[in-house]
Amino acid sequence: MANNFNAQTAAEQMKKQNTGAAQDTLNAAVNMGDGTAGSMAASAPRQNGPAGAVTQPGANSGGIMTHQQVPTMDGLLGVRSMANNAGIQNVGWDSQNGIVTFDGKGYVKPAKVSDDGMAYVDRQSMQKAINQYYNDSGNPLVGARSYVDSMGLANAATWSDGQLMIGGHQVPVAYVDENGTAWAKQTDVDSAVAKYKQNSGIMGNQEVYNNWKGEYGGRINEALNTILNREKWSYDTENDPAYRAYRDAYTREGNRAYQNAYAQMAANTGGYGSSAGMTAAGQQMNYYMQQLNDRVPELMQNSYNRYMGEQELNRAALNSLLGVADNDYSKAYQANRDSINDSNTANYYSYLRNIDARDNKRRVETEDRLLKYQEPILQNQVRQSNYDTDRYAQNADLDLQAKQINNQMLAMQSVMSRYPYSGNADIPISAEDAAMAGIPRKADGTYPTIREIQNVYANLWYDVFGN
């Protein structure tokens, strides 16, 4: 009966192992759940009561540049830390009016004050107070990107690793609003823009004009004044060199004719002068003087023509100067625009590289966080897979044992059917029946009886099917 009892023991073992498998599966599920919960707890923020703290160095948190830790309470942010991060150091408290002061002037009415005396306010109210403070100081805050873009310097203002950069120069930021706009002091932005222009050889439109004006402005004004403020034309014979030249010539010739006429008349009278000689000489003089007077209209016209000719020359000189000046200004302006466009193009590609680097960094950080989160899950999956493999092998062995038990029970049924009478219950079965059922001899060398076989069969059935 040793083989029969071995079969019964195998059935009990199979039942225990099935129960153990269920418990192991439950334990594996519990362990996996613990691992998942632990990973989630490690990545989620802890809530230790109403007051906590927000810290993300080098990045923005709710629109505030957290150069230092900003405490929080019920969704509100600490006033002092936010003010300090915005560059406001002299933060005080007006106990009479319950207002936070900057440089002794009230700016913020806190929404809450903690038991330890810390004032808290919402983000928008704090940003409004910061803006007002800098407006009052005469150095207002400006939205960096739009302010720089308005100068024609597209993409010169960039955000890189939690820092505002303008042409490679870092600019302190007061805060970053909910729209992602970085607000900085105008003087700081102007200073960075000036350095950027100097290093890039870029000028503003006003600077281009000022340089052009310094080169041509005075000369153009002088030429224009020559035309607009020129004295009106008038003619004065005494001031006309041509008239004076004619006058001298005609006077000289008149005198000569006068002398000749007088001498001729004197010769006719024996060397004595006469009134007739005087008259003839005077007529000669008058003739030349009339010739001089006849020249005056011509000389006046010539003077007017010279006046108008000089005016035309002045206008031509002005137009030529304006043409040269306009050409130089266009060249200078276009060269400056080319420099700006080249710089903007370089800034744009630098901006794209920064965006790619930022996105890649975020992607790597996300993948790292996901890997850390999934690691315990993957480990449990591996353990579960190994466990399932082991259980499969064990179940295969148990299936084989179950088949063997089932075959043995069928063989016992066949043997018991050969001995239907109760009087045969205590008679050992025959060697042929024992061999057919695979039932070995007992320790004393005899074969088991039908009753013994029935008892073993009943126990096997109960162990396998009864429970």
Q: What is the pLDDT of residues 192-213, one digit of tens each?
A: 888 888 777 776 667 777 888 8
Q: What is the pLDDT averaged over residues 28-37?
A: 30
The segment with the largest mean pLDDT, out of 12-16, 96-100, 239-243, 455-459, is 96-100
Average pLDDT, the chain: 76
CA distances from 385 to 53, 338, 388 (A): 43, 66, 5
Nearest by Cα to 373 from 45, 40, 34: 40
> Which tokens go with 347?
């800034």
User: How confident is the model over 366-397, as pLDDT tens digits?
Assistant: 888 887 877 888 788 888 888 878 777 777 77
Range of lowest pLDDT (12-21, 46-55, 352-361): 46-55
> Which tokens go with 137?
């100081």
> Which tokens go with 187?
């003087």
> Is pLDDT larger for residue 17 or for residue 345?
345
129 and 82 in contact (C-beta within 8 Å)? no
User: How confident is the model over 69-122, as pLDDT tens digits?
Assistant: 899 999 999 999 999 999 999 999 998 999 999 999 999 999 999 989 899 999
What is the band of 58 on the pLDDT scale with cuts at 50, 70, 90?
very low
Range of lowest pLDDT (63-72, 124-133, 425-434): 63-72
What is the band of 39 on the pLDDT scale with cuts at 50, 70, 90?
very low
User: How confident is the model over 423-462, as pLDDT tens digits?
Assistant: 777 888 888 888 877 788 888 888 888 888 878 878 877 7
pLDDT of residue 131: 95
Residue 175 CB-density burial (10 A; 0-12 exposed, 13-18 middle, 19+ buried) = buried
Distance CA 162, CA 59 (A): 4
